[in-house]
Chain A
Amino acid sequence: MPSTIVTLKLNGTERELIARPSTTLLSALRDTFGLTGAKRGCAQGGCGSCTVLLDGRPAVSCLIPVVTVDGCAVETVEGLADGDRLDDVQQAFVDHFATQCGFCTPGMIMSATALLNREPAPTRQDVTEAICGNVCRCTGYEPIVTAVLSAAESRRDGAAEGRHDSAAERRHDGAGERHRDAAAPLSGKAAG
């Protein structure tokens, strides 16, 4: 099969690449676009460190041939912060020591982001199910669960006060709409 031109809406910006049939979404992100936030851990869909949002749903990008997602919206961890200002989920990870070596962190944050976009008031079980496809070897998970629950709470508080910071604002237009009908992760162990 020949290479084809693939168009992605990458963190809100339309980007094109020439992709071989075997090129994964992860490889396109890292090697073509230089977005190295998504990590290549197991390359088998088992560790979740490559998790990105694909049309709002968490997906293990190492298993997805990029030609099959032509035209899709892809969000990576690089798209969350507003300049140097972390978004609320990222800030919660910092505040609650939810990261050590950092290798799982981008995937964790994207899984958590997908959860909070579709479920503003998650239970602890919702959180553990949402991140159960993301392997962490350092923290013992507890600080991560705490961070996600805390981010959900602060986002609800922000919404209740009618305060819209830029991160919340961004979610309410565009991305948030898609997330509402997001049902389950696309593939791999992310489904739990």
Chain B
Amino acid sequence: MAIRQGRGYAAVNYPTGMNLGGDPSQALVHATTMGGFVVTLSSVDLGQGLRTVVAQCAAETLGVPLENVIVDTADTDTGPHCMGTFASRGTHRVGNAVIMAAREAREVLLRVAADELEVDAEDLETDGTGFVRLKGAPEKKIHVSEVALAAHFRQGRTISGRGIFLKEPSTPVPETGEMDPDSCQAHACTVAEVEVDDETGVIEVLRLYNTYEVGRALNPAIATQQVEGGAWMGLSHALFESTEPYYPHSREHGPLDFAAYLMPGPADLPEQTSVFLERPAGNGPFGAKGIGEMTANAPIPAIANAVFDAVGVRLTSMPFTPEKVLRGLDELRAGRAG
């Protein structure tokens, strides 16, 4: 009887967004009197950081500091339509809509500034710090707050833009089933290192190495958080989470509380190392793909493969409980004896 070590890996390709017979998200951008840019959406930030990322998309497109962007979202009664935050679609769909809206608003911004500076709008550029300036003569410039005031109170114009990203409907070809279901696919691979106690059947995940091809990581800190938080959830599914013995055998005795529904806590964490490969997607906002849901996927089969590597037991159903490991070991021994 011994603690046995094993290493396994698994890879995943994951779609960004669905088709849904046509899947749109819309965005509106407008300037306040003070030169703030409001991005109006109805897309919900569940904590994945959508507000931050769309603010980055708007600021980058408009050419103004991030602090000038205000994201106003999640009122689905009054906001521009969004199909929702699901299918790893938020950054891709909403980001694209925001970029389109911000481009239109930027055009007006430059036209208003051109009238104020008495130059041609095509000769103007934003400097990223809050000024619109003349190309080649950067001393000739005007701050966006002054541009906004001029638009509102002198020129009588709205600095605003409209954006939509539509994943167009795609009907399956009857003969082949072929269709266009998603916008792009992100790819990932996880390597898991485990220890298996072949006396107790207990699996401990020591380390997870995550490699993600995400198009472009618009916000690497948030992307890393999503990858490692998702890997925790995958680990939790792999080793602990189950409604057994209550469900589906008896619906009368569902899991009653967190005492009966096991999850790894802060003392049960593996070391994680995460790396991003950036291959910008042609149709993504600044090249980004979605990585929302995929992050819980690869760790599970990677852990199963690592257990196989450690003790030769092939686990095929989650969670990988000590009982399943021990039964597997018994079968192996019986096989050898026979």
Contact = CB atoms under 8 A, between A and B. Distances in A.
A182 B184 CA distance: 54
B48 A140 contact: no
Contact of B266 (A42, A44, A46, A145): A145
B156 to A, nearest CB: 36
A145 B228 CA distance: 14
A46 B259 contact: yes
B266 A101 contact: no
Report, as a range, how many residues of chain A touch the other chain.
20 to 34
Nearest to B45: A101
Interface in A120-137: 125, 127-129, 131-132, 135, 137
A135 B225 contact: no
A109 to B, nearest CB: 14
A97 B221 contact: yes
B232 A141 contact: yes
A44 B228 CA distance: 28
Contacts of B232: 139-142
B47 A101 contact: yes
B258 A46 contact: yes
Contacts of A131: 266
Contact of B233 (A127, A128, A137): A137
A189 B259 contact: yes
A112 to B, nearest CB: 11
A143 B265 contact: no
A189 B266 CA distance: 14
Given A97-B222, A132-B267, A142 B258 contact: no
A42 B306 CA distance: 35
Nearest to B256: A44
A47 interface: yes
Interface in A6-57: 42, 44, 46-47
B90 to A, nearest CB: 14
A102 B257 CA distance: 21
A97 B225 contact: yes
A142 B259 contact: no
A44 B256 CA distance: 9
Contact of B258 (A47, A97, A129, A138): A47
B272 A142 contact: yes
Interface string B281-314: 0000000000000000000000000000000000
Contacts of B46: 101
Report, as a range, how many residues of chain B touch the other chain.
20 to 34
Contacts of A143: 225
Contacts of A128: 265-267
A144 interface: yes
A100 interface: yes
Interface string A138-162: 1111111100000000000000000
A147 to B, nearest CB: 12
B47 A140 contact: no
Nearest to B49: A100
Contacts of B48: 100
Contacts of A42: 257-258
A139 B265 contact: no
B34 interface: no
Interface of A: 42, 44, 46-47, 97, 99-102, 125, 127-129, 131-132, 135, 137-145, 189
Task: Report, nearest first, the 8 A-B pairs whose CB atoms are least far apart.
Answer: A140-B232, A101-B47, A46-B258, A100-B47, A141-B266, A128-B267, A128-B266, A140-B229
9 contacts: A46-B259, A97-B221, A101-B46, A135-B263, A139-B229, A139-B232, A140-B229, A142-B228, A145-B266
Given A131-B266, A142-B272, A189-B258, 14 more contacts: A42-B258, A44-B257, A44-B258, A46-B257, A100-B225, A101-B46, A102-B47, A125-B267, A127-B266, A135-B258, A139-B228, A140-B233, A143-B225, A145-B269
